[in-house]
Amino acid sequence: MYTSGLKRVMFEEASASSDWRFPYRLIVPGQTEWRDDVDEVVLGMSPDYAAWDDYGRMQTANAPTPDFWNAPFYSASSDDASGVVRLVDPNLIDIVVPYGAIRQMGPGGVSVGVQHRDKVSGSRTTLLVGRLPLLSGVI
């Protein structure tokens, strides 16, 4: 699997009131397949600030950030049943975070990380880290 070169990304602005889609194409020579018994890809997202209005307005100015032990605020894996992270073909990771999770993180800045985990060796490789600006309303 891919073992070098951390990619830093500044994502395009997205709406805090819709799904966030991110198809991530790896260009890895020799990568011919994803193996369920070996490969897992994990997404982690932590907002700078979180607010929600389910049963009255709630907010936190100290939402988890990557420097805190309890980060990330939101995570999904290619191994869980959520369908948020899908390993589509040997070089494509399809990420679709649903509106319900996105609206709890925005508007504001969100730290995003994607990591590959080898289930056999236990090794972990961070594929990318970045910042996602979420705007209120429709873009």
Q: What is the chain's pLDDT, residue by residue, as a tens digit (139 residues)?
A: 444 567 888 999 999 999 999 999 887 777 788 888 999 999 999 988 765 566 666 555 554 444 544 568 899 999 998 999 999 988 899 999 999 999 888 788 999 999 999 999 999 989 999 999 999 866 5
* pLDDT of res. 134: 92
Q: What is the CATH number of domain 7-135?
A: 2.60.40
This prediction has a pTM of: 0.80
* pLDDT of res. 65: 47
Give the Cα separation of 119 and 96 in Å (integer): 23
* pLDDT of res. 61: 52
Give the Cα separation of 49 and 60 in Å (integer): 6
Give the Cα separation of 126 and 5 in Å (integer): 9
